[in-house]
Every structure is written in C-alpha cells, then in structure tokens.
Amino acid sequence: MKFLSRLLPLFLLAGTLAACTEDIDLGSRRPAPTVVLNCVAGTQKPIVVQVARTIFDSLSVDADIPDAEVILTVNGTPHSTLTYDPTAFVYRSTYTPRQGDRIRIDARTRLGNVWAEETLPRLIPIDKVDIDFRPKGFFNETTQLYDTYQCVYRIHFADPARERNFYFVRIMDEDGFIVHNLDYSKDEVFIPGHGGLNLLDENSSIGGEGGMAFSDELFDGKAYDLRIDEEFTRYSFLEYDRNHGGFKPKQDLARRFQLFSISEGYYRYLSSLFNEDEDSFNNALVKAGLAEPSIRFSNIRGGTGILGTMQVQQKQVSLTPPTP
C-alpha cells in the first residue's frame, strides 16, 4: 500500500495532463530572432567570424546572415571590414592578432547591431614535459615489453602572479589526432569545484575538439606541474613489419602537448556549456517544458554568442618505453 500511495499522485498527474489539452499556435509565440556572433581569435591564423541568428526549431534553415557588415577594430583603431565567404558561411579578415591586442568586432545586420571586445592573453610557455612509464602486467619475452604501461605526463609551466589566468590543455598524437583516452583525475585542478571543466564532448572546447579547461585558482603565481595519465598496451609500441612479417618496434610514437592561454570570457562560456552538459536531469525537464533552460554565458553586446581569445604553446615528445 505504501508503494501504491507513492504512485497514485503520479497517476493522477498523468490523468490530469491527459485531460487538459489545448491547441497552441507555436508560430504566434515564436520569439524574435537574435543575432549570434561567434569568434575565437588567436595568434595562429587570421580572424574568422560567424554571424547568424537564433532559430526557433530544428526545421529552420539558413541561420547564417550573409549580408552583415562586420568591422574589425584593433587597439581602438578601425582596421578593416571583413569579407563574407559563402562556402564556409563565415566572415574572414586578413589580420592575425598579436599578444596583448585588444580586439573589437562589430556586426551590423538587418536584425540589429552587436559588438564585443576582448584582449589576447599572454602566452604561457611549457617549460618541459616529464614522462614516467610504469609497467603493469606480465613481461613478454618476444616483444621485450610488458602487457600494459601507465604513462604519467607532467607538464611544467609558470603561472603569472597577481592576475587571474585561464587555461586549456590538449594532447595530440604523432599524426595530429586528438588523444581521448586520458585520465585527468590525478590532478585536483581538474575538479570542477577548483576551476576544472571536463570538455571532452564536441560542443565545448576550442575548435570543437577534446581537452580540459582549468583556472589558476590553486596555484596563482606559482610554477606548476600538471599531471595527466594515459594507459598503453604493448601493441601501442609495435607496428607490422611488411618486409619480414610479424611486429617490430614503432619508430615515431609521440605526443604533442598543447597549453592554451584563454580569455576569462571564453572560459566562462566553456563553463556554461559544461554546466548544460552535466545537468542532465535539468536538461530532461527543459525538454519536457517543465523547467527554464540554463543561461549560457555571452559577452556579445546586443546579441548572443562569444568572442574568445587565446594563445597556444606546444611541445612534442617522443615516447619510448624503458627497457627492462
């Protein structure tokens, strides 16, 4: 009876919802479209800007705005008007930002005018990367390798003092592909309560790629060695020998470590994406129409989206397991 008493209110609620029906003209309640401006500016390539409008449902198409006037201002001086690229649906500039640049982007559209301004953060160099191979399992006499290896990476860098700094770390393999099977749990800076953001999904990281964002909350103004772990099997260090058959040691196994310095606004934007992804229960309620959606951070005046800035330092290290 106690179980039934818990279910009864749910049945009553379901019956009430089923009995109360009303035809709603969603078209009449369609919100006015808002201008969306997205740009992540760095020192690696010229500025690219996306200008679009918000859409009401997934059936809407052609959200980009191809006839906007997009103006770039650098350090308070008007620089140029960006050119629309219809093949990529973006506006392109010929200007590549430099450290310390104050970048402002204005977009004038038929739906209204929007703008944003951000400063490029300073580049934080990677001093060195230490690699510690820890063998696990049985030793194979033929390959002269253990079954598995726990590889501990320690990325050393110095955080500037008396200022808030925000970072993003990513690891690539020797072919330029992102390494996803990484263990970030050994370093407390990646704990969300300490400023860490797990951004391994495609929607919440720089350029839509995997990695982790974090702040200097725990090490402000200090030298720090960031720990990330990766596990290998012995076959990671072997490749097929086409000439003689069998396997031979792989010659070019490597990891490229990328440390991004990112603007606070971009970090806050990533944080809001992380909160959306993590709060799955609230997201379910939002989809059911029973809760308000979380608010995504934006620094776009008059519209929505993000103007983020960044710099990246990278260091490549060859991987060779220790011989017994």
Q: Which helix (H) or strand (E) holds 305?
A: strand 304-318
Q: Which helix (H) or strand (E) holds 140?
A: strand 128-140
pLDDT at residue 306, as a whole number: 93
d(Cα 84, Cα 43) in Å, to the nearest integer?
Answer: 21
Q: Which range among 31-35, 164-168, 246-250 shows the weakest confidence by mean pLDDT?
A: 246-250
pLDDT at residue 235, as a whole number: 67
Q: Per residue in 21-37, pLDDT tens? A: 555 555 555 678 899 99
pLDDT band at 99 (very low <50, low <70, confident <90, very high): very high
Q: Is the pLDDT score of 111 beyond 70? A: yes
Answer for the pair 217, 136: CB distance below 8 angstroms, yes or no: no
Length of the chain: 324
Question: What are the start and end residues of each CATH 2.60.40 domain in the chain?
Answer: 30-119
- pLDDT > 70 fraction of the chain, expressed in percent and rounded: 69
Where does residue 26 rank: exposed (0-12), middle (13-18), buried (19+ CB within 10 A)?
A: exposed
Answer for the pair 276, 294: CB distance below 8 angstroms, yes or no: yes
d(Cα 248, Cα 239) in Å, to the nearest integer?
Answer: 6
φ, ψ for residue 265, nearest 5 deg: -60, -40
Q: Per residue in 172-212, pLDDT tens? A: 998 888 888 888 888 998 876 545 554 433 333 333 347 88
Structure token pair of residue 41: 């500016």
What topology is assigned to 30-119 in CATH? Immunoglobulin-like (2.60.40)
> How distant is the alpha carbon of residue 84 from its chain centre?
25
Structure token pair of residue 292: 């308000």
pLDDT at residue 274, as a whole number: 65
- CA torsion sign for 251, 253, 259, 265 is positive
Q: Per-residue pLDDT averaged across 51-67, rounded?
A: 76
Which of the two residues, 134 and 19, has the higher pLDDT score? 134
